[in-house]
Structure 1
Amino acid sequence: MSLTETARDKTALVLGATGGIGGEVARQLLAAGWQVRALTRRTATEAARANAAEGIQWIQGEVMQAGDVAKAARGVAVIVHAVNPPGYRNWAGTVLPMLDSTLAAATAEKATVVLPGTVYNFGPDAFPLIQDDSPQHPVTRKGAIRVELEERLRDATTRGARAIVVRAGDFFGPRAGSSWFSQGLVVPGKPVSTIRSPARRGVGHQWAYLPDVARTMLALLERRDTLPPFCRVNMAGYWDNDGTAMVTTIQRVVARHGQAAAIKPFPWWMMRLIAPFQPTIRELMEMRYLWQRPVRMANDGLLGSLGHEPHTPLEDAVEATLRGLGCLPATS
């Protein structure tokens, strides 16, 4: 810690630390010497087991309760808002109140809020290449809520808070939790014999390796005093130009471990039948258009801020992901 740095400058509250992106950011903050707190509905022991990271200060509380978040956030410089209702249950009714709790605490503490962003808040007028400041005219309910999330963040920066939004493609990684990679392409916990391809033939798709997303967030936080109060940047991640690069990379990786895997189309017809009865599938179906047309994000702003984008080679990222999902032999 430098002479001009205080303990507060490197203290963060992570909301959603037992989830994919929240857990990854928490681990990387700890590795970089930060003090990390996390709010959880579970006991501290249960939460620590779910996160698999030592050194987090677990605080029992509920993100929907502004008082719980305010108490946990006292004296922090950063709040990582990476929390979502499990299984998309009542997503529309909970995500905005959750953010309001975070913004009230950030305003009181003059803290920086970090929000993982998506492409959902953009519509056809911004396709196929989305810039940081492209117009936000979404065509889905979830997209409209995403727009509102960013607007509330922007408004909070007029009251003393700061905000960083990092938009990325579909997450994958060894601890990514529920994702297209783990729920659609392969089956966790089993050797890979079939790889499902959701993309329409020839349509590009954008992916983001979760550890790279967390590294990007950490790098921006370390430079937060040089950023505008409301900063939103896109990550390029991995651009799968024709929708085949990810599935063929999985196929190559598992072949090195003695597994022969066939690539087959994703059963969208079956999802359509299940969607009325399964909230997670219903939410996935709403975003199917991202597999039917190319939607890519330009990372010019990120490069301008950092000079680079953290980027793990795709085959290394896929191998780590498959190993984390239990799809590869324990030793080979």
Structure 2
Amino acid sequence: MSNAPSAQAPLVPRIALVGGTGPIGASIGTALAATGTPFAVIGRDSSSIATRFAAIPAVEARGWDPEDPARIRAAVRGIDTLVYMVGVPYDAFHLHPPLMRRTLEAAEAEGVRRLLLIGTAYPFGRPRTARVDENHPRAPHTFKGRMRKEQEDLVLEAHARGRIATSILRLPDFYGPDVERSYLADIFAAAAAGRRAKVMGPIDTPHEFVFVPDVGPVVLRLLASAGAFGHTFNLGGAGTITVRNVAEQAFMLMRQNPKLFVANALLLRLAGLFDPVMRELVEMRYLMSDPVIFDDHALARLIGPIPKTSYAEGIARTLDAARRALRRS
């Protein structure tokens, strides 16, 4: 009888990140890898999954076609928990509800036990209180907000049916290393390159941003918490800050005075005549003039104190990443 050690079978992933090739997916994947938890990433492009998670070779890439229910079922088969963060083009928000509906139908059919939606502030609409908690009315006044609310409704209705446990974690706008789709992103690229940064005004209103690397550990703690499902939660940033102050700190680290090109409502409308994405930004400009500031006490009561990276540290780390990206280009 041989005493040679037997090869250990690879661990089967029980968690899948749906649409996980963006920065939030990378943050969650990094947190999972740090705990030795195997996971799968579901997306259209296997090469994008391989690129994003190159440092985590054990990740299982699962291709899907979100238009094809059979492909969705195949992608979620054998999975216990889905973390859903599928993005769509900014001018195609009408796709959010049908994508969510097909994913939930496939998940229920395949016996997936839990689904966590990574959501946004859009369903709340204009804030009616200084701090927005989970009890704030969801009364979106924008098309994109209505589509996000319809998406949330599908998730909550699925939980009520009892075939899958669901939850929602809403994030404010975010920033961080290698984050390209953020109201702050061009500040860091511009500071690194010594050029003028393009930002959307107003820029002196206190705003809230979550640092992307902080999100992954929160998601893991939420998934591990009894009582997480059947509820919605907000995650706030490390206090408030203005866009101008972010720019001042970033440019100061480069020993420069901040150089900003501020797009007001008129400029956005003019740009929107030629650029569909800029056209879509017009209705969301209220987030800069009337920002949603989250109250995340309910989340903290469930999972305990939430470590949050200070803006000073987050700005420095994001700028360092922008400088490295510039050197590679």
Instruction: Establish whether residue 309 from structure 1 lines up as the match of residue 310 from structure 2.
Output: no
* Ranges in structure 1 where 5+ consecutive residues have no aligned partner: 1-6
8 Å contact kept, 1:186–1:196: no
Give the aligned residue type for 1:296.
I
How many residues are matched?
314
Aligned to 2:196: 194
Instruction: Establish whether residue 325 from structure 1 lines up as the match of residue 325 from structure 2.
Output: no
Give the distance between the partners of 1:189 and 1:270, measured in 2 at CA.
23
Q: 2:290 aligns with which of 283, 290, 293?
A: 293
Deviations 1:216-273 (A, max 9, x none): 11110122xx115322111121333555432222233333xxxx14243512343321
Give how far 1:41 is off.
2.2
Give the aligned residue type for 1:286.
E
Aligned to 2:240: 240
8 Å contact kept, 1:235–1:309: no
Give the distance between the partners of 1:327 and 1:188, measured in 2 at CA.
13
Name whichever of 267-276 and 132-141 sits farther off.
Answer: 267-276
Give the aligned residue type for 1:235.
L
User: Equivalent residue of 2:122, what SS?
Assistant: coil
Give how far 1:318 is off.
1.4
CA spacing shift, 1:249–1:240, aligned 2, 3 Å: farther
Instruction: Establish whether residue 18 from structure 1 lines up as the match of residue 21 from structure 2.
Output: yes
Aligned to 1:150: 152
* Ranges in structure 2 where 5+ consecutive residues have no aligned partner: 1-10
Give the aligned residue type for 2:287.
L
Deviations 1:32-57 (A, max 9, x none): 22221122322x34530244342211
8 Å contact kept, 1:272–1:285: yes
Q: 1:218 aligns with which of 217, 220, 226?
A: 220
CA spacing shift, 1:175–1:148, aligned 2, 3 Å: same
User: Equivalent residue of 1:206, what SS?
Assistant: coil
Give how far 1:90 is off.
2.3
User: Equivalent residue of 1:38, what SS?
Assistant: strand
Give the distance between the partners of 2:247 and 2:192, measured in 1 at CA.
17
CA spacing shift, 1:101–1:177, aligned 2, 3 Å: farther
Deviations 1:104-154 (A, max 9, x none): 233232422122221111134634321112111111001111111111111
Give the aligned residue type for 1:80.
V
Aligned to 2:4: none
Deviations 1:50-71 (A, max 9, x none): 4434221112221232222221
Give the distance between the partners of 1:53 and 1:126, measured in 2 at CA.
44
Aligned to 1:106: 107
Give the distance between the partners of 2:30 and 2:72, measured in 1 at CA.
20
Give how far 1:197 is off.
4.9
Aligned to 1:3: none
CA spacing shift, 1:249–1:227, aligned 2, 3 Å: farther
Aligned to 2:131: 129
Give the distance between the partners of 1:117 and 1:213, measured in 2 at CA.
12
8 Å contact kept, 2:173–2:183: yes
Provide the aligned C-alpha RMSD in A: 2.6
- 1:203-214 mapped onto 2 (5 Å cutoff): 203-214=205-216
Give the distance between the partners of 2:233 and 2:19, measured in 1 at CA.
21
8 Å contact kept, 1:193–1:262: no
Q: TM-score, normalised by structure 1?
A: 0.85
Give the distance between the partners of 2:185 and 2:247, measured in 1 at CA.
12
Aligned to 1:117: 119
CA spacing shift, 1:77–1:192, aligned 2, 3 Å: farther
- 1:5-44 mapped onto 2 (5 Å cutoff): 11-42=14-45, 44=46
Instruction: Establish whether residue 79 from structure 1 lines up as the match of residue 82 from structure 2.
Output: yes
- 1:82-97 mapped onto 2 (5 Å cutoff): 82-85=85-88, 87-92=89-94, 94-97=95-98
Name whichever of 140-149 and 95-104 sits farther off.
Answer: 95-104
Give how far 1:196 is off.
4.6
Q: Which has the larger radius of gyration?
A: 2
Give the distance between the partners of 2:280 and 2:257, measured in 1 at CA.
28
Instruction: Establish whether residue 249 from structure 1 lines up as the match of residue 245 from structure 2.
Output: no
Give the distance between the partners of 2:68 and 2:190, measured in 1 at CA.
34
Give how far 1:283 is off.
2.4
Give the aligned residue type for 1:64.
E
Name whichever of 132-141 and 51-60 sits farther off.
Answer: 51-60
User: Equivalent residue of 2:323, what SS?
Assistant: coil
Give the distance between the partners of 2:149 and 2:25, measured in 1 at CA.
21
Aligned to 2:6: none
